[in-house]
């Protein structure tokens, strides 16, 4: 998914009294069901330039607190869709997407 697609799907900007930047966070309602909840992570003055807002959004895309890359396939997704495992083998330690974890025997 491109940066533009990630921004459109997982980040929103609202302008009112302030400019508020929200990120979608994954909330698991059961083992195989989730909801996306919007959390305000940054507020800026309404006079903040478009360039500065774009820079903040680009920094959010690089922040591993919100987005992670699978160590095996390099797919980027919301951190809530990734799992971190510590295996006894070096190649099985790290952050992985659900598809790649299934290759290690995990089931979802």
Write out pLDDT tens, residues 1-11.
888 999 999 99
The β-bridge relationship of strands 33-45 and 67-69 is unpaired
| pLDDT tens readout for residues 32-56 | 899 999 999 999 999 999 999 999 9
Domain that includes residue 83, residue range: 68-108
In the predicted structure, residue 89 carries a pLDDT above the cut 60: no
Calculated CA dihedral for residues 4, 66, 44, 53, nearest 10 degrees: -20
pLDDT at 86 over 60: yes
Answer yes or no: is pLDDT of 20 > 90.
yes
Q: In the chain, what percentage of residues exceed pLDDT 90?
A: 59
Q: How far apart are CA 106 and CA 88, in angstroms?
A: 15
Model-wide pTM > 0.85? no
Please answer whether residues 67 and 78 qualify as being in contact, where contact means their C-beta atoms are separated by less than 8 angstroms.
Answer: yes
- Across the range 17-37, mean pLDDT stands at 93
Judge if 58 and 73 occupy the same domain: no
Are both 51 and 79 inside the same structural domain?
no
Q: Scanning the structure block, which residue is given the tokens 């989730």? A: 34
- Say if residue 79 is in the same domain as residue 43: no
56 plus 39 within the same structural domain: yes
Residue 100 confidence (pLDDT): 87
pLDDT value of residue 90: 47
* Same-domain pairing of 54 and 2: yes
Mean pLDDT for the stretch of residues 91-102 = 78
């Amino acid at each position: 998914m491109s940066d533009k697609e990630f921004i459109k799907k997982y980040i929103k900007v609202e302008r009112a009294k302030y400019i508020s930047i929200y990120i979608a966070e994954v909330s698991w309602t059961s083992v195989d069901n989730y909801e996306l909840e919007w959390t305000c992570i940054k507020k800026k003055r309404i006079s903040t330039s478009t360039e500065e807002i774009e820079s903040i959004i680009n920094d959010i895309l690089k922040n591993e607190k919100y987005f992670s890359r699978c160590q095996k396939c390099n797919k980027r997704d919301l951190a809530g869709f990734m799992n971190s495992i510590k295996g006894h083998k070096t190649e099985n330690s790290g952050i992985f997407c659900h598809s790649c974890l299934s290759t290690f025997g995990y089931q979802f």
